[in-house]
Amino acid sequence: MITKHSRPELLFPMSKALFLSYTLKESTFTATQMSSLSQPSPGSEESGAGELYFAYGSNMHLQQMAARCGDSTLFAKGILRNYRWQTNSRGGGNVIEGNQEDFVEGIVFTVSPSDVRALRRYEGVEQQIFVERKFDIEVERVLDTALEGRKPADVAKILAQYNSGQSKVPDKFSHDKPSTSKAEEPEGEKVFRKALVYISYKYQLPGDIREEYIARMQLAMADARMLGVSKNYLETSLYPQVFGKRTGARPDEIRSLQQRPAPRTPSLDQSLNSEQ
């Protein structure tokens, strides 16, 4: 039976087009619209202002990221290889080790030390609900490169203008412009950057998603798609888990987790030293 929880358009009618068609069109952005928002900040890797963070769950929702990490700026799209997305036994998003064909797409942000402390609070690092790791993330330009380096709240305003019809959704017009983005390399070469990733080893068994997390993930997926996270990934990896229901862990999943060696997890003090 189809319920409102298995049909996202019934929860957020204005996002219906994003989930049903994912149609992206060429756009133009006026100088007035762009100048009304804050200008991009310098690249963190040059200024030493922070480091990179890979968001794969509800923090892809730009308004949520802005509220949690006030210093953060949009850096790039990202792909974590050899992992796969899951709804874990706590009812939230997680990534677990997979095989060579598995990958997780997300959004990469530049974050300050105070942002990292906030992320650790939200992710429950001290309680070991999530563990902080640094992984090599394959980075790519976002769909509209004019958004790179901007604060999430400003990017959200621009996307809202796309969604309301004040501006058309971008396709590739910005990719023709010169850029100094750290995600840009000669054509054909993959680019990797070290980024913080939060993983739950304590709660790795799959489960049903929490009701409140459904709404947050819908907003996150809508923002991620507008920034260029692939339609295929959203439809095959996230959409079924966010809007579907499970009956519990399969026997093969339980056996796999029981046989997997426990990862070494640094203490919180060791993690805090990584900022310095």
| CATH number of the structural domain spanning residue 78 | 3.10.490.10
Answer whether residue 43 is part of any domain: no
274 is in an annotated binding site: no
What's the DSSP call for residue 93? E
pLDDT tens column, 68-98: 999 999 999 999 999 999 999 999 999 999 9
Asked if residue 228 belongs to a known ligand binding site, the reply is no
Per-residue model confidence (pLDDT) at position 41: 35
Which ranges of the chain would DSSP assign to H, the alpha helix? 8-11, 16-20, 31-35, 44-47, 62-68, 113-123, 152-164, 211-227, 231-233, 239-243, 251-259, 268-273
Q: Is residue 110 part of a domain?
A: yes
Identify whether 38 is part of a domain: no
pLDDT at 133 over 80: yes
Indicate if 123 belongs to the active site. yes
Task: With respect to residue 34, please indicate whether it lies within any of the assigned structural domains.
Answer: no
Residue 54 assigned as binding residue: yes
Task: Name the average pLDDT for the chain.
Answer: 75
| Catalytic residue (choose from 51, 123, 140, 148) | 123
**196-207 average pLDDT score:** 95
- The larger pLDDT score, comparing residue 120 to residue 28, is at 120
- CB crowding 214-236: b at 16 or more within 10 Å, else e: bbbbbbbbbbbbbbbbeeebbee
Q: What is the pLDDT of residues 171-192, one digit of tens each?
A: 543 433 333 344 555 556 899 9
Ligand-binding site membership of 173 (annotated): no
Q: Is 53 a known ligand-binding residue? A: yes
Q: Are 111 and 197 in contact (CB under 8 A)?
A: no
Give the structural domain span for 89: 8-27+48-259
Residue 265 has pLDDT above 80, yes or no: no
Tokens of 30: 């006026």
Tell me if 198 is assigned to some domain.
Answer: yes
Residue 156 lies inside a defined structural domain of this protein: yes
pLDDT in tens, 22-79: 334 333 333 333 333 333 333 334 434 579 999 999 999 999 999 999 999 999 999 9
How many structural domains compose the chain? 1
pLDDT value at residue 188: 66
- Is residue 226 assigned to a domain? yes
Q: Poorest-confidence range of 108-112, 186-190, 264-268?
A: 264-268
